Amino acid sequence: MSTNDALLEQILARLNSLQVSQQALQAKLDSLTTPTSPVSPPRFEPSTPGRQPGSPTPQSLLLSPSTSLAQIVSSPPIGTSAEQIISDKDRERALYPGRVLLTTYPDQHGIKPYPLQWGTSDPSNRGPVICSRLPTSIKQRNAIGAHSGSYSIYRALSIAMGTLSPSHKPDYSKTEPPVPIPPQPAWSDPHKIVSFDPWGHLVPQVFKREIEELGLDVRPSIAVTKAHIKLSEMDESARRGDIVVDGHIVLRTRPLKNPDGTDSDMDPGVEVTTSKAAVEPVWYLPGVAERFGISESLLRRALFEDTGGMYPELITRPDIKVFLPPIGNLTVYIFGNPEYLTDESKELTLRVHDECNGSDVFGSDICTCKPYLVFAIEECVRCAQRGGVGVVVYFRKEGRALGEVTKYLVYNLRKRGGDTADKYFRATELIAGVKDMRFQALMPDVLHWLGIKKIDNMVSMSDMKYNAIVQSGIPILKRYDLPEHLIPPDSRVEIDAKIAAGYFTSGKKIAEADLIKTVGRTWEEAEH
């Protein structure tokens, strides 16, 4: 045995000894019954600014042995003064009476995660995803992270401010999906769906016992609903006759109103019926690691380090295999009959779209994102009107998952350094270090969740998206890109750079030597 091996064995033995000692200490602490220190009641002055003489004292702020946690942390009535509000220290004691628990360890005294077996066909055997730190659930948590991704921070703020009781129990009655997304064979394949919980939209139904009888804080991570969408671009398409009003998928909008409330003679345009699902990320770490061809331990270490050590249990709890990351979710829009998604005899049109706030919402013409999105929706509608079904999946991966700040910095560099197609990808790499971080390997999960087995038409020029879907076992019969006449002039830099880099195109090929000829608009041209 080498000296290094012997030293490593000594270190591991010492670490194991320390962990055993820590667990023993934890057991002793848990066995102690320490009475909770009483919370000092707030003092009320006889004359309080903001309260009319003779008005009743806000009794909801007085603390007594029977005062509930919700009463303690609830917001004071509007108009109460600073003297009437319980101190932040009192609020903190009421919300978090125990000592700070930074992390836990496997087999620690009192810690017993609720059984969860990813990829089993029966939800009762699979088990619910539990990441709550409420007293009813904290010792049975089987997942790291928090529900609602980045929005969990706003929940924390609401609790700290007293506008939300941490023990609020949601009422899920009448929230069940109006559109059925039934179990598919892929739900029970631990290799097919690893980036979200396929049972997430059925939580209140399939885990009713865990919620109502066991009192566990189990929450839906998917919600399915129905809606009408209205886009001015589709109004124009309907006026041109490119979209047909069929009274089922495409409807004529109700008459517009004049300022005096009477019906206007203006064309109201159209609206489109759709079914949609919001999906929060729930990562099965062994499956995610396998999908990217790396070890689970390396994935966990990278997640721990590059989130600033935000989740220590990624390191200390290798027995917990599920992680709810603080990232954006995805939304699925279905045009036509959702039951056709699993019917291979029906035509299916797909667009996988990654978020671009500047273009999708505000119409920036430096890229083709909004034209692509609108064109794809229209293609999905036309497919549904032919008797098929259309699907648009919208991922929150702003700026190729580099973020909007990085994207705008790249825009500045491009416009100052000569916005030519030959420098397009290089500009991103100079700032971000990579040209794309979307990593489409996890993207096909949602298609398997829907039960899609083949795609007739895919509106995309991305080889990464195409390859990820096909390699996951779903064939694509036809792919096509955005028609030439819909490409904004200033976005030619992006399109030509992508074509020269090998992206799919149904138009003319572009050589690397030609890229210098494609030049974007300068800032000066837009200033008046």
Are the beta carbons of 460 and 503 closer than 8 angstroms?
no
For position 110, what pLDDT does the model report? 87
**Average pLDDT of the chain to the nearest whole number:** 85
Residue 245: left (phi > 0), alpha (psi -120 to 50), or beta? beta
Asked, for residue 264, whether it belongs to a domain, the answer is: no
For residue 405, is pLDDT > 60?
yes
Taking alpha carbons only, the member of 382, 55, 131, 111 closest to residue 241 is 382
Whether 161 and 194 map to the same domain: the answer is yes
Whether 393 and 348 map to the same domain: the answer is yes
Range of the structural domain that residue 488 is part of: 328-526
**Rounded distance between C-alpha atoms, residue 274 and residue 12, angstroms:** 57
Whether 313 and 429 map to the same domain: the answer is no
**Who's near 76: CB < 8 A, 6+ residues apart?**
58, 60, 61, 84, 85, 162
Q: CB 495: neighbour CB atoms within 10 A? A: 24
Asked, for residue 268, whether it belongs to a domain, the answer is: no
**Rounded distance between C-alpha atoms, residue 496 and residue 138, angstroms:** 53
- The stretch 205-228 carries a mean pLDDT of 96
Are the beta carbons of 319 and 141 closer than 8 angstroms?
no
Are the beta carbons of 244 and 201 closer than 8 angstroms?
no
**Cα pseudo-dihedral 505, 510, 515, 517, rounded to 10:** -110
Residues classed as catalytic = 436, 438
Whether 301 and 366 map to the same domain: the answer is no
Residue that terminates a domain, selected from 271, 291, 324: 324
Per residue in 14-36, pLDDT (tens digit) is 655 555 555 555 545 544 444 34
Number of structural domains in the chain:
2
Whether 306 and 445 map to the same domain: the answer is no
- The stretch 110-121 carries a mean pLDDT of 94
- The stretch 366-370 carries a mean pLDDT of 93
Asked, for residue 207, whether it belongs to a domain, the answer is: yes
Residue whose structure tokens are 């066909």: 121
For position 417, what pLDDT does the model report? 80
For position 499, what pLDDT does the model report? 86
Whether 514 and 445 map to the same domain: the answer is yes
Whether 470 and 352 map to the same domain: the answer is yes
For residue 372, is pLDDT > 50?
yes
For position 7, what pLDDT does the model report? 61
In the DSSP assignment, the letter for residue 248 is: S
Taking alpha carbons only, the member of 167, 35, 163, 160 closest to residue 89 is 160
Q: How far apart are the first and last CA of the chain?
A: 77
- What are the two backbone dihedrals, phi and then psi, of residue 67, each rounded to the nearest 5 degrees? -65, 130
For residue 179, is pLDDT > 50?
yes
- The stretch 53-80 carries a mean pLDDT of 43
Whether 304 and 410 map to the same domain: the answer is no
Asked, for residue 135, whether it belongs to a domain, the answer is: yes
Asked, for residue 498, whether it belongs to a domain, the answer is: yes
Residue that terminates a domain, selected from 302, 324, 346: 324
**Who's near 171: CB < 8 A, 6+ residues apart?**
none
Q: CB 240: neighbour CB atoms within 10 A? A: 8
Taking alpha carbons only, the member of 263, 254, 261 closest to residue 230 is 254
% of the chain at pLDDT higher than 70:
83
**Rounded distance between C-alpha atoms, residue 413 and residue 427, angstroms:** 7
Asked, for residue 51, whether it belongs to a domain, the answer is: no
Taking alpha carbons only, the member of 129, 280, 143, 122 closest to residue 187 is 122
Whether 384 and 405 map to the same domain: the answer is yes
State pTM to two decimals: 0.83
Residue type, 163: T
Whether 169 and 214 map to the same domain: the answer is yes
Whether 297 and 389 map to the same domain: the answer is no
Q: CB 161: neighbour CB atoms within 10 A? A: 11
Whether 375 and 512 map to the same domain: the answer is yes
- The stretch 389-395 carries a mean pLDDT of 98
Which of the given ranges, 6-20, 65-79, 464-478, has the highest pLDDT on average? 464-478
Per residue in 474-503, pLDDT (tens digit) is 999 999 999 999 999 888 888 888 888 888
Asked, for residue 475, whether it belongs to a domain, the answer is: yes
Asked, for residue 139, whether it belongs to a domain, the answer is: yes
Residue that terminates a domain, selected from 273, 295, 324: 324
